[in-house]
Amino acid sequence: MTDTHFPERVTLYPVMAIRAARRSSRVGGGYRLYVLAKALDTQGRGSVSRDELREYALSLGVSPRQWQRWIIEARNNDLVTDVQRASGEWELILPSAGVAAYSMGCDGVGTRKAEMSAADLIGPGWKARVWAAYEATHNGKPISRERMQKIVNVPVSTQRYRDAQAGVVRQQNYAKLKAKADSLPGLVEFGTRHKALYVRKDGYIGSRKPDSRFTDIALRAGKGRARKANATLHRMQRNDGLSLMRQALSQDVTPETDATNDQSVYVRLFNFTPAQRRASERKIAKLDLSRRDLYEFSHKAKSGSLVWVEC
DNA sequence: AGAGTAGCCTATCTAGACAT
DNA sequence: ATGTCTAGATAGGCTACTCT
């Protein structure tokens, strides 16, 4: 076999992949071809040989017919540009992530890349595996499906469908609040930002938090150049008058909106280590927020659920 | 003969409705 | 909170065709 020199792993921005995976995007194959091309361009030259990319795709099980459709999609979305070298060989010029995101109509590339196997991009279930890569970027931190829908605009029912198909493991999270059981009636009567309150066996008040999800389909990669890619994208949007209002806070925190003034007044942060918690406290101190929840990981319950203590 | 392609057919997917 | 079902839509495979 001559395939062995082709990359087995690729890195991508799951937020872009999710955009491409939308039925209406008409760039599902084109985007995957772009990801493969980027993986092939190990030197970062900004271009790859068209024949080599075709060979790479076919070695992964892409049919000649698919290749034909995919490269057309990639061209239609400015993800590749054909140029002929003096030698006669055809090269494909590849845009940067930010420019590619702009071409695809993304509002952002997210904050994290993910790494996954190239073969997982091909064949039935690829959308679920790409979704799992997005789940992996949360690194086990609790996040509700509703929140993910707000971020990437994938309906909750579709999220469940994808998770089930990709075998994503879900774990429940419970928070141990500072308040004791005797304050529960007051909390119930006057209301609280905490949902699903109950009295724990140790006498403190507990609250059900969003689930954590885990997968081994993808690894969370470093932050890489997400900031740069987003900056490029947003500059292009501004130039086109397409700039959208963006979140004031990073994706590591969960802003909620106060219905009365539409301002972010509330964040919730989950931290696995004391060092993470201290970093979060510093971050929060700068933000001038009226309300916040901060939790540090405590332990894994017998049931498998994760328990977090309010700080 | 071999490469590329059109069009048909089937598998897969989406997302709402309903059930548990 | 999850699972099941479904109609309608899309993607991908297959085959026969054209062109050189």
Q: Supply the DSSP string of A182-229, one letter for each residue.
A: GGHHHHHHH--S--SEEE-TTSEEEEEEEEEEE-SSEEEPP-TTHHHH
Establish whether the CB of A211 is closer than 7 Å to any nucleic acid atom in strand C. Answer: yes
Q: Where among A166, A182, A200 does a domain terminate?
A: A166
Tokens representing residue A254 in the block: 């969960």
* Structural domain includes residue A234: no
Residue A134 has pLDDT above 80, yes or no: yes
**Which position has the token pair 């084109």?**
A30
A40 and A187 within one domain:
no
In this structure, what token pair is assigned to residue A117? 């196997």
| Confidence band, pLDDT 50/70/90 cuts, at residue A265 | very low
Shared domain for A186 and A265, answered yes or no, is: yes
Residues A299, A181 share a domain? yes
The answer to whether residues A162 and A294 belong to one domain is no
So what's the pLDDT on residue A217? Answer: 86
- Is the pLDDT confidence value at A279 over 80? no
Average the pLDDT over each of A77-81, A92-96, A149-153, A259-263 and give the range with the smallest value.
A259-263
Q: In angstroms, rounded to a whole number, what is the distance separating the alpha carbons of residues A284 and A248?
A: 12
Q: How large is the average pLDDT for residues A194-219?
A: 79
Q: Same structural domain for residues A162 and A195?
A: no
Containing structural domain, residue A48: 3-166
* Mean pLDDT lowest among A10-24, A236-250, A290-304: A236-250
Q: Which two tokens stand for residue A87?
A: 């030698």
pLDDT at A292: 67
Rounded Cα–Cα distance for residues A178 and A297 (Å)? 14
Residues 154-193 of A with CB under 7 A from strand C: 157, 160, 164, 170, 172
Domain total in chain A:
2
Q: Is the pLDDT of residue A115 over 80?
A: yes
**Is the CB of A63 less than 7 A from some atom of nucleic acid strand B?**
no
Q: Does residue A44 lie within 7 Å of nucleic acid chain B, judged by its CB?
A: no
The answer to whether residues A217 and A133 touch, using CB atoms and an 8 Å cutoff, is: yes
Which nucleotides of chain B have an atom under 7 angstroms from any protein CB? Answer: 4-7, 11-17
Per-residue model confidence (pLDDT) at position A289: 60
Q: Is A14 in the same domain as A60?
A: yes
Q: Is residue A75 domain-resident? A: yes
Residues A18 and A35 in one domain: yes
Does residue A126 lie in a domain region? Answer: yes
Same domain, A192 and A106: no
Same-domain pairing of A65 and A21: yes
Name the percent of chain A lying above pLDDT 90: 0
Instruction: Estimate in Å the CA A244 to C1' C1 gap, whole number.
Output: 33
* Tokens, residue A93: 């010029």
Last residue in a domain, options A138, A166, A194: A166
Asked whether residue A2 carries a pLDDT value surpassing 80, the answer given is: no
Q: What is the mean pLDDT of residues A278-287?
A: 74
Check: CB of residue A166 under 8 Å from CB of residue A217.
yes
Cβ of A28 less than 7 A from strand C: yes
Q: Which of A124-133, A257-266, A301-310 has the highest mean pLDDT?
A: A124-133
Q: Which residue is nearest to nucleotide B17 (CA to C1')?
A: A157
- A106 & A158 share domain: yes
- The A 102-161 residues near strand B by Cβ under 7 Å are 124-128, 154-155, 157-158, 161
A42 in any annotated domain: yes
- Note whether A37 and A81 are same-domain residues: yes
pLDDT per position as a tens digit, A39-88: 888 888 888 888 788 878 877 877 766 777 788 778 878 888 877 776 65
Least confident of A164-168, A229-233, A241-245, A306-310: A241-245
Please report the pLDDT score of residue A23 as a whole number.
Answer: 63
Between the CA of A64 and the C1' of B19, what is the distance in angstroms?
44
| Residue A148 pLDDT class (50, 70, 90 cuts) | confident
